[in-house]
Structure 1
Amino acid sequence: MFTYNIDEDLYLRLIDEGDRDAVYKLTDDGRDYLREWLNWVDGIKKREDTMGFIEMAKKSYAENSGLHAVIVFRDEVVGIAGYNKLDYSNHIANIGYWLGEGYQGNGIISKVASALTDYAFNYLKMNKVEIRAASENIKSRAVPERLGYTEEGTIRAAENIYGVYVDHVVYGVLKEEWQK
């Protein structure tokens, strides 16, 4: 099973069935907050709906096409992060993340994204890591900017979030850039 220690308070662990209640609670408690940028929130109406995501996550891990982990901070599940897509033919990993509202401001996502970038280059042997964020999602965009990713462009109307099309800004970093 995948576990990746980041520091004494923070680690990533492959999501599994035992995380259902904690992940559902984070989603349910932060429904309005999460709904602003995540188009799947309304599909999670009960704890069992979270199992669909967990089953998809386990399948993508087994197929080596993605990796979805719980973010554990001070022994509490506080969000989800990982690789939404692992493209081994082109050696590109796409990082995705979300954090419970009450856990903002601790540098958690920056540390997690940095660790995932390291892991992609050092263990998965990727050549490039990408992070995409809605153009108006300033907090999410700040993460790759803080980590030294390059803004590569904008994909117009990339996602439909509850009837509103949002553009995505694509950030990328190459292995040789990250190692510097």
Structure 2
Amino acid sequence: MFQLYIDKDVSLRIFIDKDAEEFYQLTMDSKNYLREWLGWVDFTQKVEDTAAFIAGTHKGVAETGGHPKSAAIIYRGAIAGTIGFNEINKSHKFGIVGYWLGEGFQGKGIMTKACRAFVDYGFQTMGLNRIEIRAAEGNMKSRAIPERLGFTEEGKIRQAEWLYDHYVDHIVYGMLSDEWNK
């Protein structure tokens, strides 16, 4: 089972079935906060929706040849959010990372640590050559993560995502394996 210890407070691990209730509750507790930038939040209406998401993460392990496509971010024993590859292209060896953190876990450096570890895993263990992070142009908290980690801002995808009643542009950040940790 995938588990990556980052420090005494933060780790990543594969979701397990019994996480459904806790992860659902985190989503509901942060619903209004998450809804500003995540278009799927309203589709999570019951624990079974979260259980279906978790089951999908298990299928992702098979798709990647045994690597987690998504992981729970654990902070001091509690699920704080998630990080994962929204897309992996094995032919071209690239992945697109997405993440979110519950509202009560913001401002502790958790996501920067989690993202650094997950990107490192993608390059070092999965053998990816390129990793992208895409964030809505106005989502400055999300954009701060790739900027802090030294990703290159590569451009804008116009009207990349529909958020309930409007489109948002995405800023694309990229990192190549030979640039990572230099």
Please, what TM-score do these two structures have when normalized by structure 2? 0.96
Deviation at residue 141 of structure 1 after TM alignment: 0.2
Deviations 1:16-53 (A, max 9, x none): 21110111001111110010011111011111111121
Instruction: Write the letter of the residue equivalent to 2:172.
Output: V
Q: In structure 2, the residue corresponding to 1:53 is in which secondary structure?
A: helix
* Number of the residue aligned with 2:144: 142
Which runs of no fewer than 5 residues in structure 1 stay unpaired? none
SS at match of 1:160: strand
1:101 aligns with 2:118: no
**CA distance in 2 between partners of 1:30 and 1:121 (Å):** 31
Aligned to 2:37: 37
| More moved, 27-36 vs 57-66 | 57-66
State the partner residue of 1:48.
48
Amino acid at match of 1:158: A
Deviations along 1:148-167, one digit per CA (max 9) or x if unpaired, are 00001100010001121000
Match for residue 15 of structure 1? Answer: 15
Aligned equivalent of 1:26: 26
Which residue identity lines up with residue 120 of structure 2 in the other structure? D
Residues 1:112 and 2:123 are matched in the alignment: no
Question: What is the one-letter code of the residue matched to 1:120?
Answer: G
Determine the C-alpha separation between the residues in 1 that align with 2:8 and 2:102.
20
What's the offset of the Cα at 1:8? 1.3
Moved over 6 A (4+): none
Work out whether 1:157 is the aligned partner of 2:159: yes
Tell me how large the CA RMSD over aligned residues is: 1.1
> TM-score, normalized by length of structure 1?
0.97
Give the letter for the 1:131 counterpart. Answer: I
Distance in 2, matches of 1:126 and 1:74, equals 30
**Offset at 1:95?**
1.1
Helix, strand or coil for the counterpart of 2:116?
helix
More deviation, 65-74/1-10: 65-74
Shift of 1:170: 0.4
83, 86, 103: which is aligned to 2:85? 83
> Percent identity at matched positions?
49
**Structure 2 CA distance for aligned equivalents of residues 37 and 19 of structure 1:** 23
